[in-house]
Structure 1
Amino acid sequence: MSKPSFRIHRSRLETLVDGVFAIAMTILVLEVKVPELSDRHSAEELLHALMHHGYVIGAYFFSFAMLGLFWVWHHRLAEQVREIDLPVLVCALSFLALVCFFPFASALLGRYTINLTALLVYVPVIGLIVLLQTLFYWTAMRRGLVTVEPATARRTHQANLIGLAVFCFASTPTLMRLNVYASLIGLALGGLLIWRAKRPVAAA
């Protein structure tokens, strides 16, 4: 007698997702420190210190917005998934691992904004998160785990591909700082994803 395949209810994964995002979004603010002043009454010194920490504060708000966007996007995708099997769970846990890593990447960017290495950590983490969101839904669709009509599932997958293409185009300035060939590869990959999104996707 064969063993039943691995399955968990979607709600169990969503509880974990909410908890991970809540912690990651809270940890982001820990990098924003209250500045130490030699003269506690000096408004000018405090303003100068806050301006000095401006990149860290900016990285916090931008990263918080990105995590909020990823959270909303994930839940909109997960609403169309009936249950979670092992391959879908691997995609979801890999996605959550990157979400947990995101505060470190944000802190690195905030402290070393103009450092290329910091950008080459931060930007790929975002790209991998977007990629894993796309793989999460594509895997569920291919394994017959979505609850919507095949045409709706295909449109959702195509929208995910376009989102991934937008990231490729948006990362071009960072890739250009690395070298021109990397930027051309990014543009070509974005174009390929747009082309793929326009093509019909096989029904699950």
Structure 2
Amino acid sequence: MTQHPIAKHRLEALVDGVFAIAMTILVLEVKVPELIDRRSTAELLDKLQHAWPTLAAYLVSFFLLGLFWHWHHRLIAKILRVDIPVFVLTLLFLALVSFFPFAAALMGRYPTNPVALMIYLPTMGLLLTTQAANFALALHRGCVDPDIPEAEIRAAQRRNLRGCGIFFLAATPSAIRIGPISLVLCLLAAAAFFILMRRVGTRRPASPA
């Protein structure tokens, strides 16, 4: 068997570390409000009321990163080995994870600004797409554990593609706020993922080289 420079357990440790840091950094955007009168209940409540978009962006983004981590954990469990192309695509996925706190901070500070939405939603879409593509690449290159039943592999592929399709379909109302081009792109992406889901083949995964 060809030697591969990346041990699977080392990659898993890297993924866990990046997710842990990204999820922790999210809370740094939630600032303690400065008060003119430190004893004023009304002033503090007013400041906290104005801070709710930041709090909402933090909570939603933390939950989403947790879901992305869980999804990656389930997929990596099916991968037997990691070669260079799979590693590179995983690095791209982790780069998006690291960028996500910035997108969440923009969304929290400027929730009504279409530009903030235009950064936040595509980041989420790219995270989903990259994760699905990573598993498809691992399957194509024979990195998936051959002992896993074929039906389970196909089911995982369908879930990946369905999740991407549902996201882009659900994002269409927000895409309307950004502009007609964004709406068209969301609808096309959703349609493409649902078509791919229906076309998931029945051939067996490639055996490891």
Pairwise TM-score range, normalised by the shorter structure: over 0.9
Aligned counterpart, 1:154: 154
Amino acid at match of 2:49: M
Deviation at 1:10, TM superposition (A): 1.4
> Do the aligned residues in 2 keep the contact of 1:154 with 1:203 (CA within 8 Å)?
no
Aligned counterpart, 2:51: 53
Give ranges in structure 2 of 5+ residues lacking alignment.
none
Q: How does 1:22-37 map to 2 (within 5 A)?
A: 22-37=20-35
How many Å separate the matches in 2 of 1:181 and 1:96? Answer: 28
Question: Across the two proteins, how many residue pairs are aligned to each other?
Answer: 202
Q: Does the alignment pair 1:203 with 2:201?
A: no
> Do the aligned residues in 1 keep the contact of 2:7 with 2:81 (CA within 8 Å)?
yes
Give ranges in structure 1 of 5+ residues lacking alignment.
none
Deviation at 1:52, TM superposition (A): 0.9
String of CA shifts for 1:165-201, please: whole Å, max 9, x gaps.
Answer: 0111011112212333431332232123212212232
> Do the aligned residues in 2 keep the contact of 1:7 with 1:83 (CA within 8 Å)?
no
How many Å separate the matches in 2 of 1:123 and 1:203? Answer: 34
> Do the aligned residues in 2 keep the contact of 1:9 with 1:82 (CA within 8 Å)?
no
Pair 1:75–1:88, CA change in 2 (3 A): same
Runs of 4+ in 1 over 6 A off after TM superposition: none
> Do the aligned residues in 1 keep the contact of 2:19 with 2:97 (CA within 8 Å)?
yes
Q: How does 1:99-110 map to 2 (within 5 A)?
A: 99-110=97-108
Deviation at 1:100, TM superposition (A): 0.6
Aligned counterpart, 1:184: 184
Deviation at 1:8, TM superposition (A): 2.2
Pair 1:183–1:65, CA change in 2 (3 A): same
String of CA shifts for 1:112-153, please: whole Å, max 9, x gaps.
Answer: 000000001111000010011001100111111111223221
Aligned counterpart, 2:38: 40
Aligned counterpart, 1:89: 87
Amino acid at match of 2:27: V
TM-score by length of 1: 0.94
TM-score by length of 2: 0.92
How many Å separate the matches in 1 of 2:172 and 2:200? Answer: 27
How many Å separate the matches in 2 of 1:138 and 1:156? Answer: 10
> Do the aligned residues in 1 keep the contact of 2:176 with 2:182 (CA within 8 Å)?
yes
Question: What SS class does the counterpart of residue 71 from structure 1 fall into?
Answer: helix
